[in-house]
Amino acid sequence: MRQKTEDPIDQHIGNRIRQCRTRAKMSLQQASEMIGISSTQLFRYESGENRINAGSLYYLARGFSLPVSWFFDGYSLPSERKHHLENVIHEPLSPDYYPSNSTEMRKSMVALWDALPKDRQRQKVLELLETFI
């Protein structure tokens, strides 16, 4: 019998789920209710033990007002997986892959903007952004 190994992407997504759940100050039970699963199952997703399905990830993203791509942000493809993909498609992977598109980034920025509690903070963010232009 083959031993189950946890995939690094499942661990990464699980960490991101835990991160947004704890930022929202939600218990496992509260967050699991958003997608209609047990808190034990959500714990398995967060630990990377189980792989979350696309529908549940979508509903979590909606519940936390995040783009689905947020759960993938910061993930680096392991070199062995990269080589495997390159062998399958018979060409090198593009180094210019970005999981978020501009529409999703814009939505994420607006959600973060709306979360700022004070006008003074918003003014400081605008000043900072202006320094990049």
Same domain, 111 and 69: no
Kindly tell me if the per-residue pLDDT of 48 is higher than 90: yes
Of 75, 64, 87, 80, which is closest to residue 17 (Cα–Cα)?
64
Q: Is residue 92 part of a domain?
A: yes
Confidence of residue 82 (pLDDT cuts 50, 70, 90): confident
Per-residue pLDDT tens digits for 1-13: 445 667 899 999 9
Determine contact, residues 77/46, Cβ cutoff 8 Å. no
- Measured CA to CA, the distance from residue 6 to residue 70 in angstroms comes to 21
What average pLDDT does this structure show over 67-84?
Answer: 86
Examine residue 122 and state whether it is found in any structural domain, yes or no.
Answer: yes
- Domain match, 67 and 15 both: yes
pLDDT at res. 2: 46
84 domain residue, yes or no: yes
CA end-to-end span of the chain, whole Å? 58
| Higher-pLDDT residue of 88, 77 | 88
Q: What is the pLDDT of residue 69?
A: 87
Same domain flag for 122 and 106: yes
Instruction: Indicate if 94 and 108 belong to the same structural domain.
Output: no
Residue 3 domain flag = no
81 lies in the same domain as 113:
no
Which has more confidence, 93 or 22? 22
Which pLDDT belongs to residue 1?
47
pTM of the model: 0.67
User: Following DSSP, what letter does each residue of 43-99 receive, concatenated?
Assistant: HHHHHTSSPPPHHHHHHHHHHTT--GGGGTTT----HHHHHHHHHHHTSPPPTT--S
Q: For the chain, what is the domain count?
A: 2
Domain residues for the domain of 45 are 8-99
Residue 120 and residue 81 share a domain: no
Q: How far apart are CA 3 and CA 61, in angstroms?
A: 31
pLDDT of 52 > 60? The answer is: yes
Query: Is residue 1 one of the residues assigned to a domain?
Result: no
Identify whether residues 51 and 85 lie together within a single domain.
yes
